[in-house]
Chain A
């Protein structure tokens, strides 16, 4: 091998090592996911002897049974209702507060903002027992709102911070000019701030949605009726019933994470931006 050749063909042990390393990690990430997807197509007997490979007989029945059951759709519907409530309420409540903190100067403004950001310091779990009693005393136990309202409250701190930073970048002169022309703050908010802030609203909405969609502890504590369970609770019940019939459980898992994966592929820009940028700047 001469020098000219090594410079022309980019064979570099470092690159080979890098490719190998990436491949190993990719396999470690992919294998559990693929085994779950494919496991749902196998019979229990085949799963035991062949958990990795393609199914020898594709058992469409596992997936079909779940897809045609009322139970699956009920779980997804409950999750969708709770998450949608959480997203809508968070967007309304947080954007109103963020607008006030960004554009209205008043005594105590920074104090109130720091008060809200206290919410970043501790997880909802710390106060979940008193929260349960509060929700019970309000008569919201076993309702969608009993789950969604605390979720909104706990997502407010981050949402207000993200929205306020974005709103602040809207030039103050614009607001001033609008006010001189007789536009009210509220109209400005509705017709200027919100339309200009679509990207950040989408980001905040996506974070709230993913968090609420995946949440387990709050619904576990607040809901007693199976008919109201969101999917993380439902799938745990399902697993309890079919304890070692893994082929059915794997099919069920696949079908319940499918919406998340699809949403991720469709809105990856917002999700990655929201979940990391929110963190970086927060």
Chain B
């Protein structure tokens, strides 16, 4: 204790050169705080304010309508469809994409010829722009020229127009979501696997555990934090999915493949209904923030 006290230097508390610190404070912090406040925090506050008006964005908002915009949103069938679609994306991400990504990660975390090349290949869809991915798949799904149509024709069947039917449009979008994002989640798992404590796996092997036992009882439990993280990203990603939907379906047909953001775009932004669109934005904001806090509290307490 006494050693610690004698080596304790007063300069560490006040720091040498308080004046220097002051200069840094007034020069280095304001740009970030200003930009962040101006373009992130204020607009959210303003969204709450605008959402109480019926306003087309020109002049000042004067037509105060209270909570009517929220009522209008909640009474729209398309809103609930969009919410359901976001739920579907999360379900597919957790039930199909996550196991796929985890399986591939377990295979590709080992060293063998071609493992690195395969990792890169599977990660490739993730770095492509969503717009480009959406366009590529609108070709794949195209009923006249597309790959799916060509497969159908070799079996002598009439090719379906997957993106033009309310029954299949969302399914088609979900497939693209998995195609595009599984590589990202795989990389998360590979990074985690490489950081694992190898001695635990060795200990299990020495104790006579088979490969599958080691996997199930040692490796996967060690990956739980990463699995929770992967689910977190899947949910956040679903809540902001937009770019991918636009080239594929624009949310249609008949709103059947809207996400929350494409619903916001189609109903608020493209028609300049500022009040209504802001109300959708506020609802989305509340969902995101509530989700982020609860998830962190419940599932990621120790991180």
Contacts and interface: CB of A to CB of B under 8 A. Distances in A.
Contact of B192 (A104, A186, A257, A280): A280
A250 B139 contact: yes
- Residue of A33, A118, A126, A157 with most chain B CB atoms under a 10 A cut-off: A126
Interface string B118-155: 10111111111111100111011010111101100000
A279 B288 CA distance: 17
Given A30-B121, A104-B25, A123-B261, A257 B129 contact: yes
B50 interface: yes
Contacts of A156: 32, 35-36, 40
Q: How large is the interface on A (under 10, 10 to 19, 20 to 34, 35 or more residues)?
A: 35 or more
A96 interface: yes
A161 to B, nearest CB: 12
Contacts of A100: 24-25, 28-29
A44 B11 CA distance: 75
Given A160-B32, A232-B129, A106 B16 contact: no
Interface stretch (A57-65, A129-137, A196-204): A129-137
A185 B21 contact: yes
B24 A186 contact: yes
A258 to B, nearest CB: 10
B139 A249 contact: yes
A186 B40 contact: no
Contacts of B226: 280
Nearest to A245: B145
Contacts of B229: 279-280
- Residue of B132, B137, B184, B265 with most chain A CB atoms under a 10 A cut-off: B132
A120 B130 CA distance: 20
Contact of A26 (B11, B21, B121): B121
A134 B42 contact: yes
Contacts of A154: 39-40
Interface string B77-88: 000000000000
Given A126-B44, A250-B139, A272-B187, A134 B127 contact: no
Interface stretch (B161-169, B213-221, B274-282): B274-282
Contacts of B24: 99-100, 104, 185-186, 189
Contacts of B57: 129, 132-133
Contacts of B289: 121-122
Interface stretch (A1-9, A45-53, A66-74): A45-53
B120 to A, nearest CB: 6
Contacts of A257: 128-129, 132
Interface string B85-123: 000000000000000100110011000000000101111
Given A153-B35, A260-B132, 12 more contacts: A29-B121, A29-B179, A32-B147, A35-B147, A97-B28, A118-B41, A129-B268, A133-B46, A134-B46, A214-B243, A257-B129, A261-B124
29 contacts: A18-B107, A31-B147, A35-B139, A96-B29, A96-B32, A100-B29, A112-B33, A115-B33, A115-B36, A121-B288, A122-B285, A126-B282, A127-B40, A128-B269, A130-B44, A150-B39, A153-B38, A153-B39, A156-B35, A176-B12, A179-B17, A184-B23, A185-B20, A189-B28, A214-B130, A214-B243, A249-B135, A264-B127, A276-B187
4 nearest A-B residue pairs (beta carbon)? A123-B240, A153-B39, A127-B43, A97-B32
Interface of A: 18, 21-22, 25-26, 28-33, 35-36, 39, 44, 47-48, 51-52, 92-94, 96-97, 99-100, 104-106, 112, 115-116, 118-134, 149-150, 152-154, 156-157, 160, 172, 176, 179-180, 184-186, 189, 210, 213-217, 221, 232, 235-236, 239, 244, 246, 249-250, 253, 256-257, 260-261, 264, 268, 271-272, 275-277, 279-280
